[in-house]
Structure 1
Amino acid sequence: MIHVTVYRSNNEITAFELTGHAESGPYGYDLVCAGVSAVSIGAVNAVMQLCEADLNIEQGDEGGYLYVSLPRSLEKATMDNVQLLFEGMLISLQSIEMEYNQFMRIRNK
């Protein structure tokens, strides 16, 4: 199962963590894993390119782990844009969770 943890402070996303594997299909054909990966990596890439924000990123060597945190030094306008993109990511992940909740769980901390 994929576990998504979203960390917030003052109602803003400060970090998120993805762990585990969906195991909803054979390796290389797991649509839930592919969807979660595409949404999360796409959001990270969008933030880095469109907002020019240097994110703190940790990834597992064999997949199944992604931790992304925001630097504390972002200007307000940049932070607002980052929040919008990450909230959009979260909406997409929630859509996947609604359809495939036996393979994925999202929690907020």
Structure 2
Amino acid sequence: MIQVTVYRTKDENIRSFEISGHAESGPYGYDLVCAGVSAVSIGAVNAVLELCDIDLEIKQGEEGGYLAVNIPNNLSPDERDKVQLLFEGMLISLKAIEMEYNKFIQIRQK
């Protein structure tokens, strides 16, 4: 199962998130849940890097199945708003996957 954990600040902004595990909803290379989660999460990270020009702290597993992203604390209010919008959009897409495939993905927020 894929575990998504989103960590928020006291004012409900996303400060970091971690995605780990494998969906195992299909054969290796044909797992649609894993492909969807990967596309959504990596797409959001790439959007922040490219559109916001912000250096994120990113950790990835050597063989896939793990992604951790920390958002810097020293962002301007405008930068923070842009990053939050992109990562909240990611979370909406991940929740849509979870609604359809809840045996293979679980989202928690802390």
Q: Classify the TM-score, shorter chain.
A: over 0.9
How far 1:19 moved relative to its partner? 0.5
Partner residue in 1 for 2:29: 28
Superposition pairs for residues 1-109 of structure 1, below 5 Å? 1-9=1-9, 10-109=11-110
Matched residue type, 1:75: S
Q: Percent identity?
A: 70
Mapped to 2, the partners of 1:22 and 1:4 lie a distance apart of 11
| Residue 80 of structure 1: how far off its partner (Å) | 0.2
RMSD: 0.4
Cα distance in 2 for residues equivalent to 1:41 and 1:53: 15
AA of the residue aligned to 2:71: L
Normalised to the residue count of structure 1, the TM-score between the two structures is 0.99
CA distances 1:8-42 after superposition (whole Å, capped 9, x unpaired): 00200000000000000000000000000000000
Greater than 3 Å deviation, 4+ residue runs: none
Once the two structures are TM-superposed, the CA of residue 3 in structure 1 deviates from its matched residue by 0.2
Cα shift at 1:63: 0.6
Aligned residues: 109
DSSP-derived class of the 2:45 partner = helix
Unaligned runs of 5+ in 1: none
